[in-house]
Amino acid sequence: MSAQKIIGDWKNKVFKPIYWLEGEENYYIDLVMNYAEHSILPESEAGFNLSVFYGKDASWSDVVNACMRYPMFAEKQVVLLKEAQQMKDLEKLENYIERPLASTIFVLSYKEKTLDKRTKFYKTISKAGVVFTSEKIREYKLAEWVTDYLKSQDFTMTPRAIGLLTEHLGSDLNRIVNELDKLTLNLGQRKTISEDDIEKYVGVSKEYNAFELQAAISKKDLVKAIRIIQYFESNPKAGPIQQLLPALYGFFSKLHIISGMADKTEAAVKPFFYNNPFAAKEAMTAVKLYRDEGVERALLLLHEYNLKSLGIHSPGTPDASLMKEMVVKMIG
pLDDT at 270 (0 to 100): 86
Identity of residue 183 = L
Q: What is the mean pLDDT of residues 254-282?
A: 87
- CA dist., res. 86 & res. 100, Å (int): 22
CB 113 within 8 A of CB 84: no
Range name among 46-60, 79-93, 133-147 with the lowest pLDDT average: 133-147
- pLDDT-derived band at 1 (thresholds 50, 70, 90) equals confident
Residue predicted with more confidence, 101 or 264 = 101
pLDDT at 10 (0 to 100): 97
**Residue 106: strand pairing partners:** 18, 79
Q: What is the mean pLDDT of residues 142-159?
A: 92
CB 138 within 8 A of CB 24: no
Does the pLDDT at position 28 exceed 80?
yes
pLDDT at 125 (0 to 100): 96
> Class assignment of domain 210-331?
mainly alpha
User: pTM for this structure?
Assistant: 0.73
Residue predicted with more confidence, 239 or 119 = 119
Does the pLDDT at position 205 exceed 90?
no
User: Do the domains spanning 3-134 and 139-202 agree at the CATH topology level?
Assistant: no
pLDDT at 139 (0 to 100): 78
pLDDT at 238 (0 to 100): 83
- pLDDT-derived band at 273 (thresholds 50, 70, 90) equals confident
- CA dist., res. 60 & res. 71, Å (int): 20
Q: What is the mean pLDDT of residues 235-264?
A: 91
SS3 for 283?
A: helix
**Stretch (H or E) spanning 133:** strand 130-134
CA neighbor of 135 nearest in space, from 32, 29, 33: 29
The pLDDT tens digits for 83-94 are 999 999 999 999
- The CATH H-level (homologous superfamily) assignment of domain 3-134 is P-loop containing nucleotide triphosphate hydrolases (3.40.50.300)
- pLDDT-derived band at 109 (thresholds 50, 70, 90) equals very high
Does the pLDDT at position 328 exceed 90?
yes
Burial class (CB in 10 A: 0-12, 13-18, 19+), 141: middle
Does the pLDDT at position 140 exceed 80?
no
**Residue 104: strand pairing partners:** 77
CB 217 within 8 A of CB 330: yes
Query: Would you kindly state where each structural domain of the chain is located, as residue ranges?
Result: 3-134, 139-202, 210-331
Does the pLDDT at position 261 exceed 80?
yes
pLDDT at 107 (0 to 100): 98
pLDDT at 92 (0 to 100): 96
Does the pLDDT at position 5 exceed 90?
yes
- pLDDT-derived band at 293 (thresholds 50, 70, 90) equals very high
As a CATH number, domain 139-202 is: 1.10.8.60
pLDDT at 49 (0 to 100): 96
- pLDDT-derived band at 42 (thresholds 50, 70, 90) equals very high
Does the pLDDT at position 44 exceed 80?
yes
Average pLDDT, the chain: 92
Looking from the CA of 302 toward its CB, the CA atoms found within 13 Å total 21
Does the pLDDT at position 57 exceed 90?
yes
